[in-house]
């Protein structure tokens, strides 16, 4: 099985991590190759036009097709919103994206009565695609976060997220906070001391992937993570980025933890 992921930079590593952690817990009888594509040259995507974003996705799809992947995963919330409008039927791979996974998730009755704070990029918020989910959402654009996270300034990014984007907009302690950009999910560890309810769309995306590919029906490895011998990762970038290099290095080191 061969799966390609793309994002504007290092944020999509949070999606890749979820997939690896979940796949490690399943008894796999085949090799898994994961390909990660980071568009560091054109990051961030939050201020890009719709036409530009569409052209980027087609570029990644062409690259993934040349790699003969089975599945093409958008690990970018901003461009995932465009997938219903894209013509990807000519490719042999199956596609998965965060927008569709979240839309299906919110169709569940138990989500309807909750209040949500949706933290996302400006382009994501301006698209108003979150309105398709049919739940009570307070949208908040967070333009300061991605540049800081791309520069590995995680503490500063989290402090701004808390003080400017969460504290000023959260309606109650019961409000669930959706991390609507995969970069923001790299800050999840900072929430460990908090009692806030966090939703990481990457978790929902994997469940959608596992269900549609029948992976979820396979045997769990006694509740423990298996080794990584049959999971291989390759990394590609559109431009040099020291932050991405550091992030990927740290990411690889952390896989055994």
Name which of 99, 104, 100 is nearest 121 in CA terms. Answer: 99
> Which residues sit opposite 138 in a β-bridge?
117
Q: Residue 153: pLDDT band by 50, 70, 90 thresholds?
A: very high
Dig out the tokens for 256 from the structure: 């055994």
Most confidently predicted of 27-41, 88-102, 179-193, 206-220: 88-102
Give me the pLDDT at residue 250, please.
Answer: 82
What is the longest distance spanned by two Cα atoms in the chain?
A: 49
How do beta strands 2-7 and 71-74 pair? parallel
- Domains of the chain listed by start with CATH number: 2-99+204-254 (3.40.50.1860), 101-200 (3.40.50.1860)
pLDDT surpasses 70 at 226:
no
Task: Report percent pLDDT > 70 for the chain.
Answer: 91
Asked whether the whole model's pTM tops 0.75, one would answer yes
pLDDT surpasses 90 at 222:
no
Give me the pLDDT at residue 109, please.
Answer: 65
Taking only the tens place, the pLDDT of each residue in 93-149 is 999 999 999 999 998 867 677 899 999 999 999 999 999 999 999 999 999 999 999
Give me the pLDDT at residue 43, please.
Answer: 86
Q: Residue 220: pLDDT band by 50, 70, 90 thresholds?
A: low
d(CA 24, CA 198): 23
Dig out the tokens for 89 from the structure: 């039927």
- Tell me the pLDDT of the chain averaged across its residues: 89
Place of tokens 């039927």: 89
- Cα Rg for the chain, rounded, in angstroms? 17
CA dihedral 43, 44, 49, 51 (to 10 degrees): 40
């Amino acid at each position: 099985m061969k799966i390609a992921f793309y994002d504007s930079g290092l944020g999509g590593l949070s999606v890749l991590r979820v997939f690896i952690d979940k796949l490690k817990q399943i008894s796999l009888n085949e090799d898994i190759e994961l390909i990660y594509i980071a568009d560091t040259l054109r990051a961030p995507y939050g201020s890009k036009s719709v036409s530009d974003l569409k052209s980027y996705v087609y570029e990644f799809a062409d690259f993934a097709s040349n790699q003969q992947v089975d599945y093409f995963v958008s690990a970018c919330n901003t461009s995932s919103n465009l997938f219903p409008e894209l013509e990807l039927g000519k490719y042999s791979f199956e596609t998965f994206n965060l927008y569709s996974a979240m839309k299906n998730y919110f169709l569940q009755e138990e989500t309807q009565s909750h209040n949500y704070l949706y933290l996302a990029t400006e382009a994501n918020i301006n698209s108003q695609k979150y309105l398709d989910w049919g739940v009570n959402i307070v949208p908040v654009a967070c333009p300061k976060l991605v540049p800081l996270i791309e520069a590995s300034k995680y503490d500063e990014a989290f402090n701004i997220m808390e003080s400017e984007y969460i504290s000023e907009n959260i309606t109650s302690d019961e409000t669930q906070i959706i991390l609507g950009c995969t970069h923001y999910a790299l800050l999840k560890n900072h929430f460990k001391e908090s009692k806030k309810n966090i939703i990481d769309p990457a978790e929902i995306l994997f469940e959608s992937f596992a269900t549609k590919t029948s992976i979820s029906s396979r045997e769990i490895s006694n509740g423990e993570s298996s080794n990584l011998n049959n999971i291989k990762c390759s990394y590609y970038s559109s431009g040099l980025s020291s932050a991405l290099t550091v992030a990927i290095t740290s990411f690889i080191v952390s896989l055994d933890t």
